């Protein structure tokens, strides 16, 4: 039970977010109106994605330092969880954009940067699939993962603030703080970030365990063949 507490917490938090996200009270803001509920999903998913990709980069650095293949396994699965969240973030963002801006994908620097960033990480998965040797795959993809994160952050957080963007905090628009001042939003938004991060870690953990099992089975088959 001690090892499962965070999984139980994850389920409780996300159930709370789902219920409050659709039924809880929210501030009635101009233009945004009820779509502000997407804060618990779109915004929280993107912040969680960034956290998972940061953790993935850290484990890539750890692999380059000690050569432990398990660190590469963790890095790759955290990246996959982050990519999954990025795709969900784009989908929820498109729904929100369609209601507030009248277009599911307007020509916005942050949206375009997000698309480039997701494609960049999909290329990371393709790169990993192009190598047979595990150590070579791990080394090259770890270096790519580090540089991918270094490019990804400016694409979605820095460059949009320097140009005209529809997103809050960019191009002269008010910051996101104007949306989260309401206490009802804060009560759900912060638990949502924690819940989504825990879910991403849970997905990554399951896939890492599956990789380890498959590797052990392959080693047994190889030893038996010898």
**Model pLDDT, residue 200:** 97
pTM: 0.89
What is the domain count for the chain? Answer: 1
| Per-residue exposure over 124-158, b if at least 16 CB sit within 10 Å of its own CB, e if not | beeebeeeeeeeebbbebbebbbebbeebeebbee
Indicate if the alpha-carbon torsion angle 114, 163, 48, 17 is positive or negative.
negative
Six-digit token string for 65:
């330092």
pLDDT tens for each residue of the chain, 226 residues long: 467 899 999 999 999 999 998 988 887 777 677 788 888 999 999 999 999 999 999 999 999 999 999 999 999 999 999 999 999 999 998 888 888 888 888 888 888 888 999 999 999 999 998 988 889 999 999 999 999 999 999 988 888 777 776 666 554 444 455 544 567 788 999 999 999 999 999 999 999 999 988 888 876 766 666 5
Residue 92 is part of which domain span?
A: 5-225
Q: What's 92's domain CATH number?
A: 1.20.120
Q: CA-CA distances (angstroms) from residue 18 to 14, 21, 22, 107, 196?
A: 6, 5, 6, 30, 11
Output DSSP code: residue 173.
Answer: P
Q: CA-CA distances (angstroms) from residue 53 to 19, 34, 83, 137?
A: 28, 30, 8, 18
């Amino acid at each position: 039970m001690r090892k499962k507490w965070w999984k139980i917490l994850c389920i409780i938090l996300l159930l709370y977010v789902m219920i409050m996200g659709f039924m809880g009270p929210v501030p009635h803001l101009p233009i945004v109106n009820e779509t502000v509920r997407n804060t618990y999903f779109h915004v929280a998913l993107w912040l969680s994605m960034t956290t998972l990709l940061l953790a993935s980069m850290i484990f890539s650095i750890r692999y380059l330092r000690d050569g432990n293949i398990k660190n590469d396994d963790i890095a790759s699965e955290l990246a996959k969880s982050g990519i999954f969240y990025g795709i969900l973030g784009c989908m929820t963002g498109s729904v929100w954009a369609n209601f507030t801006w009248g277009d599911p994908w307007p020509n916005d620097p942050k949206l375009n940067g997000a698309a480039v960033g997701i494609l960049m990480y999909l290329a990371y998965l393709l790169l990993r699939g192009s190598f047979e040797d595990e150590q070579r795959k791990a080394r090259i993809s770890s270096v790519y993962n580090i540089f991918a994160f270094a490019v990804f952050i400016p694409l979605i957080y820095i460059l949009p603030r320097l140009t005209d963007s529809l997103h809050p905090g960019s191009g002269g628009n008010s910051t996101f703080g104007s949306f989260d001042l309401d206490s009802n939003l804060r009560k759900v938004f912060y638990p949502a970030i924690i819940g989504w991060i825990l879910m991403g870690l849970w997905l990554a953990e399951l896939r890492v365990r599956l990789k380890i099992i498959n590797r052990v089975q392959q080693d047994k088959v190889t030893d038996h063949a010898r």
